[in-house]
Amino acid sequence: MSNLFIIGNGFDLAHGLPTSYEHFHQYLVNNYPESLEKEPSFNIEGITTPNGGIKFDDDELVAFIVEVISAAEEDGENWCDIERNLGLLDFSRYLSDMSYLYGHEQDDNAFSRSIHRYEDVSGNFHLAMLEVKSLFSRWVTSIDTSEVLDKISFHNLIHPEEDTFLTFNYTNVLEEVYGAIDVNHIHGSQREKIVIGHGETYRDSSEQYTGSEYSLMKLHDALRKNTEEIIEKENCFFSSLQNIDKIYSHGFSFSKVDLPYIKEICNRLDTRNIIWYLNDYDSKEKICNYINTIMDCGFQGRFSIFGLD
């Protein structure tokens, strides 16, 4: 019998790594300081490169992305849940500004021109916001893990050559620091293609701006995390989950967008005789919420608590 460890970002944070979404926010501000002087507006527009791509001014792009994401965050500029908020982006302020600018037009072709304008600017919103993936990947690659030290309590808990690790982190701390062998980076890892995205249903907040709907819906779909496709791609991993008698979740927040993976684990295993261990770092209230979430995913076993120094 072996153990399955489900590792989330709290694990990397506990090892002193700057891997929170707010760290990504600060990375953007620190690496593109002139973006702070830019005033984002509806007229963000890239130029066509010789190879047919679109290139935005870096500072204008970062200023636009930061403002749009911050507006979606519950705590404004303190970024806590980018993935969820990528599904809640609202461009109505920019569209409203453009509508006001051209609102004086009253001739017979005014409505037709407004449709084309909304199509153009929403198309630019789509292209600009897609760049968040590239920026996020650059940030992930920049995270230095060379000084990370192991935690003795975790080192003593695991069997690196026998246990299975499902990690939602992009760093290679498990392999490089703890010598773990069977590690699945379900969303990719540093210097490889990474996955980031939301799990929200589409909210059409632009119905009054005819012409913008297609590009904004296209953007919403492009920023969605396709968990079904990922699970299918990782079928070999999920099929290999056998003889598991203990599951440990460490630093994992059980966000809505990632619950399909937990459901898949519960579907693949006979969980009736499995013990799921939750980290005592979290509050009792949060642990209770996690337990209810795990049970809703189909887990039928028992729960316990583990602690780490």
Over residues 157-175, the pLDDT tens digits come to: 999 999 999 999 999 999 9
pLDDT band per the 50, 70, 90 thresholds, residue 92: confident
Collapsing DSSP states into helix, strand and coil, what is residue 241? coil
Check the CA dihedral 6-8-12-14 and report its sign. Answer: negative
pLDDT band per the 50, 70, 90 thresholds, residue 271: very high
**What pLDDT is attached to residue 140?**
98
**What pLDDT is attached to residue 206?**
56
Of the candidates 306, 249, 288, 243, the one whose C-alpha atom is nearest the C-alpha of residue 270 is 243
- What average pLDDT does the segment 14-19 reach? 97
What is the distance of C-alpha 286 from the center of its chain?
21
C-alpha pair distances (Å), 173 with each of 9, 99, 132, 194, 245: 11, 50, 25, 16, 24
Over residues 126-156, the pLDDT tens digits come to: 999 999 999 999 999 999 999 999 999 999 9
pLDDT band per the 50, 70, 90 thresholds, residue 111: low
**What pLDDT is attached to residue 120?**
86
CA torsion angle for 194, 200, 204, 206 (degrees, to 10)? -40
Percent of the chain clearing pLDDT 70 (strictly above): 93
Structure tokens at 78: 């303190």
Please indicate whether residue 242 or residue 22 has the higher confidence score (pLDDT).
22
pLDDT band per the 50, 70, 90 thresholds, residue 245: very high
Is pLDDT above 90 for 79? yes
DSSP notation for 32-96: -GGGGG----TT---EE-TTS-EE--HHHHHHHHHHHHHHHSTTTTS-S-HHHHTTS---HHHHH
- What average pLDDT does the segment 252-267 reach? 96
Taking the chain, what is the end-to-end CA distance rounded to the nearest angstrom?
Answer: 26
Q: Rounded to two decimals, what is the model's pTM? A: 0.91
Burial (CB count <10 Å: 0-12, 13-18, 19+), residue 276: buried
Is 217 within 8 Å of 103 (Cβ atoms)?
no
Phi, psi of 167 (to 5 degrees): -115, 140
pLDDT band per the 50, 70, 90 thresholds, residue 208: confident
Single-letter code of the amino acid located at 193: K
* Mean of the per-residue pLDDT values of the chain: 91
pLDDT band per the 50, 70, 90 thresholds, residue 240: very high
Structure tokens at 194: 């990474």
Q: Which residues of 61-78 are buried (b: 16+ CB within 10 A; e: fewer)?
A: bbbbbbbbbeebbeeeee
**What pLDDT is attached to residue 31?**
97
